[in-house]
Structures are given as structure tokens and as C-alpha cells.
Amino acid sequence: MSAFAFTQLFVFFLLLTFIVRFWLAFRQWHTIRNHCDHVPEQFAQNISLSAHRKAAAYTMAKTRFSLVSLTVDTIVLLGFTLFGGLQYLAEFILAHTGNNIIYEIALIAVVSIITGLIDLPLDYYRQFVIEEKFGFNKMTLSLFVGDIARNTAIGVIIGLPVLWILLAVMEKAGTLWWLYAWFLWCAFQFLMLFLYPSFIAPLFNQFSPLADENLRQRIEQLLQRVGFQAKGLFIMDGSKRSSHGNAYFTGFGAAKRVVFFDTLVERLTPEEIEAVLAHELGHFRLKHVTKRIIFTSLASLAFLALLGYLKNESWFYAGLGINPDLASNAIALILFVLTLPVFTFFLSPLMAMNSRKHEFEADAFSAKYTDARDLASALVKMYQDNASTLTPDPLHSAFYDSHPPASLRINRLLEHS
């Protein structure tokens, strides 16, 4: 492939993705606006018109903001590639460090810092304007800054050594470097499954053992019926950042933990909490988590193999605005990470469809071990508390939503009751 042909291909996919995402957002905004004055009949007894309108306004605000983020991301991508930003940074850092691994790590670090600084005002607006306006923000400015500092420290302590190892493998492991890098990446991912619950997550939140004895007994009985072992049941202080509620599992093997947001425990009844947990257990018992890990690992292998091919092709660099004489492992990594979403966006519906299939299966699993009506009522409360729209645009949902639309999900559950 020639550099010019690749440039044309890149620009075509970039514009197509940009236009389609704008069109999907436009559809979502208008669909929600057109239904904001009428609560769907199946929810009319549980969700008020004011709550429905709040969910519509919240979703429309997030949709409008997503277009701003999309525009900024597109400009940044073009700035780094065809407009010469990465070329300039590479030449500048190379002149001050020499062509060595320090140069490559510094280049990746500088690009990461620049993109982080560009995203910072967007993150601030999302948290302190949109979330604040609709009553979800509980985060203080000091906590916001503290989170940035903690994430930066983790990136330095963990990310830099991993990056150094990856660059060393790319440099010294020959043509099959991508295969060795994949083995190392898989090992790192599994290591993080063990380390995250005990060492990283507590840096951001407090995890307290579940104190409600009746609820604990109910949950332990459910775990026993399902045949699931967990290291502990914990309440997380999610309310210090947001009033949104959730529950999840973390860890792997013997290190698995069940974690509830404090906001969720305060809002749901014990029966509803049990039903929500049964849904999450369904993901494990039905091997959804294992399948996701296998798929992610295989996808990583495929992408690393593709990078292994592209990093040796001069048209890959020249087509994205980089002088091939500057070609390096670091530049190949940066270009690949920046441009991959442009070429994979249209795979989103397939990923979302598979995720929604798993959600339906986990709902059915919950209905097998608990009362389906309890999960249905819990979901209604969660939709209301999180201001989730009940009337999304079907096509927008097909691209972006990992969970089925509320009406379909509730209807399926009630069929099991």
C-alpha cells in the first residue's frame, strides 16, 4: 500500500466515523426529546413524569457533551498525525535525548500528558457541571485533584515499568516480538486481577465489611445455593463521588470479592439486593467473565500481530504524517493506539449485541434463584436513581449500550415471574 492510499483510507474512516457518531447522537437526542412528556406505560406506576423528564434532560445533556468530546478528540488525532504534532514532538525529544529507550519512553509519556491535559477540562465539566446540575455529583475539587494525582502515581509506578518491558521486547525479541509481548501482557492482566482489589482499589475508596447481619446471611445463602465462593462481602463508599449506585465483583479465583455501592444498599430492599447479586453471579456461573477474558486476550493477540506488521511498513508512518526516517517502536505504538478506534468503530454493534445477550442470560439466571419481580423492581429503581432514559433510540442503543433497553429487559424478566 502507498502512503497516499493509506492517508486516503484513514481520512475516509475518520470522516465516516465522525459523521455516523454525530448522526447517532442526533437520533438519540431527538428520540428522547420526542418521548420526554410521556412515561412508557409499563413504568407509569413506578416512575413519575418529573423523574422521566429528568432522565431525558440528563441523557440529552450527556449526548450534546459527547459531540464536544468527539470534536475535540478528532482535532487532537489530526493534530498528532496529519498536522505534524507527533512529528514535531519526536524531533524535539530526539534532539535532547538521543535515539534510545529513554527517548521512546519520554515520547510516549509526553503524548500521554498532552492528551491528559486536553481531557482535563472535559472531565471537569462532565463532573462539576453536568453531574452537578442533575444532582449526582458528590465529589469535591480536592478529591478530583487527588484522584488525578493517584492515577498519575499508579501510571508511573506500574505503567512505566510495563512500558519499558514492552519496548525492550519490541526491540530485542525479533520478528515474533508481538507473540512474546502477548504472553507478558496476559500475565500482567492476570496479576492485576489479584492486585487490584487489595492494593489499588483501596487507594480510591474505603471498603467496609457488610455489617447488616440479616442481609449478609441472605447473601451467603444465595452464594451457597449458586455454588460461588467469595473472599468477602464489602460496602464501598461510592457516595463520596457520586449518587449513582452499582454492585460488582472484583478479583479472580480465591481473591474474588462482592462489592456493593453504599448508595445501592441504602436504596434497595434486601430482596432486591439479592436479586441484583444473583444477576452478577450469573455472569460468573454462565462463564461470561471467562469468555470476555478469552475474547480480550485473543483480540489483543490479533492487534499485537497487526502492530508487528505495521511497524515495519514505511507507508504506515508516512500515511499518518510521520517521516519514515523517524520510525521507532514508540511512534508505532502511539500511532496504532491513536488510530485503531477509527478503524474498529463499526464493530461496536457486534460487541454491544454480545454484551446484551449476556445481560439477558444473567437476568434469567437471577430469575432462577430469586424472584424475577425483585430484580425488575430493583432495575426500575436503578433506572430512576441513575436517570437512565427509558426511551433510547434503537440504533444509538445498538452501537453504544452494553445493556438492553429498559422495556425489553423488564418484559423478559416478567415472563419468568
Q: What is the pLDDT of residues 98-124, one digit of tens each?
A: 888 999 999 999 999 999 999 999 999
> What is the Cα–Cα distance from 321 to 338, expressed in whole angstroms?
13
Q: pLDDT tens digits, residue range 64-97?
A: 999 999 999 999 999 999 999 999 999 999 999 8
Annotated binding site for Zn(2+): 279, 283, 359
SS3 372: helix
- Calculate the dihedral angle through the C-alpha atoms of 301, 304, 309, 311, rounding to the nearest 10 degrees: 180
Residue 406's pLDDT band, with cuts at 50, 70 and 90, is confident
271 is catalytic: no
Amino acid letter at 280?
E
pLDDT at 352 over 60: yes
212 is catalytic: no
> What is the Cα–Cα distance from 25 to 380, expressed in whole angstroms?
25
> What is the Cα–Cα distance from 274 to 223, expressed in whole angstroms?
10
User: Phi and psi at residue 18, in whole multiples of 5°?
Assistant: -60, -45
Q: Say if CB 106 and CB 93 are below 8 A apart.
A: yes
Annotated binding site: 279, 283, 359
Q: Active-site residue among 131, 274, 363, 374?
A: 363
413 vs 12 pLDDT, higher one:
12
Q: Over the chain, what is the mean pLDDT?
A: 90
Residue 234's pLDDT band, with cuts at 50, 70 and 90, is confident
Cβ contacts of 291 within 8 Å, gap of 6 or more: none
Scan for cell 503524548, then name that residue: 111
pLDDT at 414 over 70: yes
Q: Active-site residue among 104, 131, 274, 280?
A: 280
SS (H, E, C) 52-92: HHHHHHHHHHHHHHHHHHHHHHHHHHHHHCCCCHHHHHHHH
Q: Say if CB 112 and CB 160 are below 8 A apart.
A: no
**Mean pLDDT score, 10-15:** 97
Catalogue the E-assigned strands of 187-268.
207-209, 232-236, 247-250, 257-261
Q: pLDDT tens digits, residue range 268-287?
A: 888 998 998 899 888 888 98
Residue 417's pLDDT band, with cuts at 50, 70 and 90, is low
What is the predicted pLDDT for the residue at 63?
95
What is the predicted pLDDT for the residue at 224?
85
Exposure class string for 257-278: b at 16+ Cβ within 10 A, else e: bbbbbbbbbebbeebbbbbbbb
> What is the Cα–Cα distance from 381 to 267, expressed in whole angstroms?
8
pLDDT at 254 over 70: no
Exposure class string for 325-340: b at 16+ Cβ within 10 A, else e: eebbbbbbbbbbebbe
